[in-house]
Structure 1
Amino acid sequence: MSLSRDSSRSDSADSDEPRTPRRKRSTYETRFLADLGPFHDIGFFIGQNDADLQLVTCHKLALARVSDVFAHIFYRPDNPLDDDEPIFVQDISPVAFESMCGFAYTGEMYVETFDECCGLLYAAKKYNLCEELRNQCRAYLWANIYPNNVWLCLDFARDNDEPQLYQTALQILQLKTSKLLMREKFRKVSESSLVTLLQQENLSIASEYELYDACLRWAERQMDKRQLTNSRDTVRHLLRPVLPHLRLLAMSDEELNQGPLADDVLTDDEAVALFNRTEVDGLCPTREERGQPRVDSFCAFAFSDEMFLLHLESEYFENTYDVFAMAFSSSGDFFSTQLGVVIPTQIRPKDCTDDTYDEDLTVFLYNCTKGEMLSITRFKGEVRFDSQVEVPFRQPVQLKSKRVRKVAKVVFHRAGTYPARYPLEEGKDGELRVATFAGHEKVKLWHKRSYNFIHFCAYTVDSSTTDKGD
């Protein structure tokens, strides 16, 4: 496979997404075949415009072996392909197409960014490549939705029929609304994604004023992007699709006077009606404030061992696991020994009659204060659906300082749906109780409602001083 383009890649300047290093092809034979440019027998011009076309060449047999769509294109007897004529592909980026060809030769996935993986998943679905590649793409995308790619995932998943990715992105928007609104990438979101956000009944915001202020910042960005005149009519035109979903009547008098009534974005009739707290056509009639989000379960995708190794190569950074599968970010007990965690098992699917399944996951324990990995524990075993399992760390971790920010994350190697909340009888918020854990007697189990997915943290205290953490 060869690609006639410069080897350097241009990424957006404001992207702080950790890049995933590419793996070298695993064998000499696959490297030889892929790089055998003079003997390639098919070429593709990739790009939307003539000026941007890039040539990718490879072997027809390699692509036909992994795709019945390519096999039909190359070898159908009713309309034989002219080998001297390249095939034009306008809806896939050159990088994504090259990654797809790389998978055809090696059976391994190569992506560096979220955008590339979106393109590869689109190509895999278009050309009907194996479900294994699609699921690897979904696992990579799922892990990297938060915090940089929520809006991109929302658009991609909606446009490409990926309901589980779409639901995950929507849950993250609901749980992390205020934080995501303050990120620079929010100002670049599509109009449809902004409307989707405003249609949510439950969002993690302090008041509706946050959404109103965010919409103004979004409109300012749109004016700069489209080189529009900054005027009341322009702002009004840009905000017309979102005004029916902004609950201006739910804002306080002070917020109204500081915002909509002072910013001159409403018509005179709308301003008078809003001042008098009456409904008017074109504005949202809802007076109730939005509720706080409640996520009862989440869908996790399985990391292959190859992708898992790439995950290990990266330093600690925020990703989707921080939203759903992270726990006990705290100073911890003075002179404590961290023994492990108690985590819930998968929710049994409706069409499943089995009581058990084979669980496979890895628990990371980081010391974020010193930037070091404290423990990596792989758990494999048969467990019951709708229960919980004790996962002791491979080696108990001793912490001899109160000022230690420690973070545990769970990486899934088996896809499924997990509970995100726990009944009160399973552990009240702030509960510290003594129990038996993995053969240890009188272990302290610390539960905190703000924990995600991980139910209890198990530890022993090696001094008479007990500090429950934050």
Structure 2
Amino acid sequence: MAQGVMSFSRESSRSDSIDESDEPKTPRRKRSSFATRFLADLGPFHDIGFFVGSNEDDQRLITCHKLALARVSDVFAHLFYRPDTDVDEDEPIFVPDMSPLAFEAMCGFAYTGEMYVESFDECCGLLYAAKKYNLSEGLRNQCRAYLWANIYPNNVWRCLEFAMNNEEPALYQTALQILQLKTSKLLTREKFRKVSESCLITLLQQERLAIRSEYELYDACLRWAERQIDKRNLTNSRETVRKLLEPAFLHLRLLAMSDEEISQGPLADDILTDEEAVALLNREELGGIFCPVQDERMQPKVNSFETFAFNDELFLIHLENEYFENTYDVFAMAFSSSGDFHSTQLGIIVPTQIRPKDCTEDSYDEDLTVFLYNCTKGEMMSITRFRGSVPYDSQIEVPFRQQVELKCKRVRKVIKVVFHRTGTYPANYQLEEGKDSEFKVGNFNGQENVKLWHKRSYGYIHFCAYTVEVASIDRGD
């Protein structure tokens, strides 16, 4: 197999654009053995070639063994070894719908049985190849796990579009939930200005978004339009901007904006006719291409989320990345600060999976890892692996592998959960009406009078448990 090296505005005063790397930091993995690499590199003995890529500039010739591909794909087995197919061994097969890197990753799996990718886009390509050529479901699920863990923050839009186009409902739902929960932050990233029109419209169609007002969406759409003008080399004029925004106007709730926002937005930007401007200020329906809804969008409410199982090898790679910059941040991480002079961190209480509709079992084998990280000192305090049979629709106590003493008054700590089982988990905890946080004393892992602390931002994690040896100045953890 041929080898390659992967290398991995509207700039208004009203919004801050952040230009950040689009790829998570993922270390390159070693091939499994010298023997498999030797087999893969037997270039003179390769008996099939592929021209892979959508155009001549990106296209590459990749050669390999027919038998290796046929062993893992019935599609290739039929193509190479059925008498009713017509494959000319002297001519390469054209594969215009894949990148060379993704095709090489597929060939690497055929030789080694391992998933080997270096970027989010490459993993999308490998999952596409696994579905197109009917490779194992295990490979597909590992691709999904890699993608799921790295959707946030840099790849939300890429995942949304890939999932829409390739019938991946769980990945699509995860990307959509992240967009709903982190809307304001994601709108300020430079990546947003490059999204497709279909992704933009999908965002605007949501009833629940984490925004302060509709003006945020309007401002973001205008920055997106100006980026499209540069990208397509269009004339920068009022007519061009309006034409680009017409699909967005069907969903932008201009009538929900305040008079001040209307004045500094649509009126100041001169993208409305005089009649439309008057109607907007009078809160009259604009008709035509404009959205008639006057109600503000509601804040997001995510009741459950999907997870994909990491195998141990992918999990070790995940540990080498930055601990707190991926999808787990959104669904399974708790931030808290200790207000006690001396406390001992005991563990957490988390919910178990929601039982699938077609499942007749009362329990399942849970497998997850809990991190306890001291942000004040920048060090990992505990890594706990929990395995065991647990009931569906319940909750479990996960004691830390070693109890951790905190002797500083204000210790910023982070607790994070990584899942090793595919399934659906509850995404929030119901607190008493009007309370922003909840504190109580209860039992944990056989100990009595343990402090149990919960905040709305915890989401999936129900309670953090700890004891206090010295009376605290203020309540909380």
Please, what TM-score do these two structures have when normalized by structure 1? 0.96
Shift of 1:59: 1.0
For the 8 Å contact 2:375–2:414, the answer to whether it is kept is yes
Equivalence for 2:11: none
Equivalence for 1:440: 447
Equivalence for 2:7: 9
Distance 1:175 1:14, change over 3 A: closer
Give the Cα separation in 1 of the matches to 2:256 and 2:435: 33
Q: Deviations over 1:100-154 (max 9, x none)?
A: 1111111111111111111110111111000000000101111111111111111
Shift of 1:258: 0.9
Q: Does 1:191 align with 2:189?
A: no
Shift of 1:23: 1.8
Give the Cα separation in 2 of the matches to 1:97 and 1:175: 34
Q: Does 1:391 align with 2:433?
A: no
Equivalence for 1:256: 262
Shift of 1:82: 2.0
Q: 2:460 aligns with which of 450, 453, 458?
A: 453
Shift of 1:349: 0.6
Give the Cα separation in 2 of the matches to 1:389 and 1:436: 13
1:362 aligned partner, one-letter code: T
Q: Does 1:162 align with 2:160?
A: no
For the 8 Å contact 2:6–2:118, the answer to whether it is kept is no
Aligned partner of residue 343 in structure 1, secondary structure: strand
Give the Cα separation in 2 of the matches to 1:71 and 1:427: 63
Give the Cα separation in 2 of the matches to 1:218 and 1:328: 33
Q: Deviations over 1:281-319 (max 9, x none)?
A: 221111111111111111111111111011112232411
Distance 1:80 1:342, change over 3 A: same
1:252 aligned partner, one-letter code: S
Give the Cα separation in 1 of the matches to 2:466 and 2:436: 17
2:49 aligned partner, one-letter code: G
Q: 2:346 aligns with which of 315, 339, 342?
A: 339
Shift of 1:68: 0.4
Aligned partner of residue 457 in structure 2, secondary structure: coil
For the 8 Å contact 2:439–2:476, the answer to whether it is kept is no
Q: 1:46 aligns with which of 31, 36, 52?
A: 52
For the 8 Å contact 1:328–1:457, the answer to whether it is kept is no
Q: Deviations over 1:25-62 (max 9, x none)?
A: 22232122112222111111111122332111111111
Q: Does 1:127 align with 2:133?
A: yes
Give the Cα separation in 1 of the matches to 2:117 and 2:275: 53
Give the Cα separation in 1 of the matches to 2:72 and 2:267: 60
Which has the larger displacement, 279-288 or 325-334?
A: 325-334
Give the Cα separation in 2 of the matches to 1:332 and 1:163: 43
Matches within 5 A, 1:297-446: 297-331=304-338, 333-424=340-431, 429-446=436-453
Give the Cα separation in 2 of the matches to 1:399 and 1:39: 62
Q: Does 1:98 align with 2:104?
A: yes
Distance 1:228 1:84, change over 3 A: same
Give the Cα separation in 1 of the matches to 2:449 and 2:461: 20
Please, what TM-score do these two structures have when normalized by structure 2? 0.94
Give the Cα separation in 1 of the matches to 2:185 and 2:337: 20
Give the Cα separation in 2 of the matches to 1:356 and 1:426: 32
Shift of 1:241: 0.5
Give the Cα separation in 1 of the matches to 2:241 and 2:141: 42
For the 8 Å contact 1:428–1:449, the answer to whether it is kept is no
Shift of 1:429: 4.3
Report how many residues are paired: 466
| Structure 2 residue runs without a partner (length 5+) | 9-18
Q: Deviations over 1:414-466 (max 9, x none)?
A: 10000012233799642221111112221110011221201000011132125
Distance 1:375 1:317, change over 3 A: same
2:7 aligned partner, one-letter code: R
Q: 1:239 aligns with which of 217, 241, 245?
A: 245
1:351 aligned partner, one-letter code: D
Which has the larger displacement, 276-285 or 296-305?
A: 276-285
For the 8 Å contact 1:20–1:111, the answer to whether it is kept is no
Give the Cα separation in 2 of the matches to 1:180 and 1:198: 14
Equivalence for 1:87: 93
Aligned partner of residue 465 in structure 2, secondary structure: strand
Aligned partner of residue 295 in structure 1, secondary structure: coil
2:286 aligned partner, one-letter code: V
Percentage of identical aligned residues: 77
Shift of 1:403: 3.8
Q: Deviations over 1:372-418 (max 9, x none)?
A: 22111110101010000000011111222234321111111110000
Shift of 1:80: 4.4
Equivalence for 1:227: 233
For the 8 Å contact 1:118–1:137, the answer to whether it is kept is yes
Q: Deviations over 1:237-296 (max 9, x none)?
A: 110110111111111111111111111011222112112211122211111111111111
1:458 aligned partner, one-letter code: A
Give the Cα separation in 2 of the matches to 1:405 and 1:295: 26
For the 8 Å contact 1:296–1:421, the answer to whether it is kept is yes
Give the Cα separation in 1 of the matches to 2:64 and 2:84: 23
Distance 1:69 1:468, change over 3 A: farther
Give the Cα separation in 1 of the matches to 2:406 and 2:158: 40
2:210 aligned partner, one-letter code: S
Give the Cα separation in 2 of the matches to 1:333 and 1:214: 43
Equivalence for 1:287: 294
Shift of 1:81: 2.4
Q: Deviations over 1:311-338 (max 9, x none)?
A: 1122324111011011134355332211
2:2 aligned partner, one-letter code: S
Equivalence for 2:73: 67
Q: Deviations over 1:197-230 (max 9, x none)?
A: 1111111111111111111111111111111121
